[in-house]
């Protein structure tokens, strides 16, 4: 699914997503699968979603990514250290969360955040904005 302009749904699919290497950190199998399929269809190159903090930290330290999508709550552990590692490497990321912005630590309130549940167009638009 590659779009060069406006779709009937009203969103623009940026060419910036084609070939983009994206790290997905999500502990819910169904949500992770949906994100993976959506981003792959948009032309992104995605790794298998990572559901655990330690593995996500290792990937963030060593992986070759252009951007990342991080669920904040990974089975009761917070993904903030993954975001910090990505920031140290100048890799942009956004949070997916059921939390409100007021529940985030102050350090992360300006970070791009997409609430759950989200629509496909919202995720594509947020990721496009993140890398453009």
Confirm if 93 and 68 have CB atoms less than 8 A apart.
yes
The full set of domains in the chain, from first to last, is: 15-131 (3.40.50.2300)
> Helices H, strands E: what count in the chain?
4, 7
Per-residue pLDDT at 34: 95
- Tens of pLDDT, residue by residue over 3-36, are 333 343 334 455 779 999 999 999 999 999 999 9
Distance CA 63, CA 60 (A): 6
pTM (predicted TM-score): 0.87
The pLDDT value given to residue 7: 45
Cα 131 to its chain centre, rounded Å, is 11
Regions of the chain short of the pLDDT cut 70:
1-14
């Amino acid at each position: 699914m590659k779009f060069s302009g406006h779709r009937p749904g009203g969103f623009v699919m940026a060419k910036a997503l084609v070939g983009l290497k994206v790290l997905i950190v999500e502990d819910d199998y169904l949500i992770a699968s949906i994100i993976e399929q959506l981003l792959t269809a948009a032309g992104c190159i995605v790794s298998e979603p990572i559901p655990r903090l330690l593995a996500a930290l290792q990937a963030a330290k060593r992986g070759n990514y252009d951007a990342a999508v991080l669920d904040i709550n990974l089975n009761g552990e917070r993904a903030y250290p993954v975001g910090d590692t990505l920031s140290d490497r100048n890799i942009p990321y956004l949070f997916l969360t059921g939390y409100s912005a007021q529940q985030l630590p102050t350090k992360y309130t300006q970070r791009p955040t997409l609430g759950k549940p989200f629509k496909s167009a919202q995720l594509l638009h947020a990721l496009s904005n993140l890398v453009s």
